Amino acid sequence: MWEDAITSEQPEPPAGERRPPMGNPVVETIQQLGQTTTPASESNIFCMTIIGQVEGHLVLPPQNKTTKYEHLIPQLVAAEQNAKIEGIMIVLNTVGGDVEAGLAIAEMISSLTKPTVTLVLGGGHSIGVPIAVAGNVSFIAETATMTIHPIRLNGLVIGVPQTFEYLDKMQERVTRFVTSHSNVTEEKFKELMFKTGELTRDIGTTVIGTDAVKHGLIDQVGGIGQALRQLNMLIEARRQSAGTAAANARGLTQ
């Protein structure tokens, strides 16, 4: 209906000029992607984007740009099973979101057997931090930021002691995952998390590109080129390892 309304308001083309039909794939590509040709879909690398807010068990308002975890998990399962896919690139520009949904995505990424590289562009805040460190190698753009803060709760609280204990355990889950998948120590991570005076209405720390690498959260500063180069190196190393294992197996059977 929206396209029909737009089309009805457009002036008729001059005489002798033919307008491409709306079903034309070139026109649809221009409308969706702003270009006349789509990127090649045949690749041995699967690229997954995590943008906006990570949506969990509750549906967010329609004006929010979200990434639904129930969409990402089947894609990761399919990528793991697809023999044509040899590596997975995860690109993040997220403000965070649902803690359990973010941890589920991070656990899925860390448990993949295929090489994975994560790249933080723009921001990888809040629960985006565990996702950013879940890959084999992590990158962050020089101008990208990561906000580290304690878990927060919105809404009605029935039992304060029980709720605090639940939040404390969930906070430990996040801390344990981040410290076990990166080079940051637990003491340093908690120091960044509970730092006061950094944010105006909260406690926590915002780290930029090189600082994230200095603290041990992220492995390297770089962009898409460096991340793809690293992923291809991991893929080649996996091929060589598989070839050596196959040769050894043949030698044992002879």
- Residues recognised as catalytic: 126, 149
User: How many Å apart are CA 49 and CA 121, to the nearest integer?
Assistant: 10
Give the contacts of 192 (CB within 8 A, at least 6 positions apart).
Answer: 148, 204, 205, 207, 215
Instruction: Give φ, ψ of 38 to 5 degrees.
Output: -90, 150
**DSSP for residue 152:** -
User: How many Å apart are CA 105 and CA 110, to the nearest integer?
Assistant: 9
Helices 186-193 & 160-180 angle (0-180, nearest 10): 130
Alpha carbon 203 to its chain's center = 24
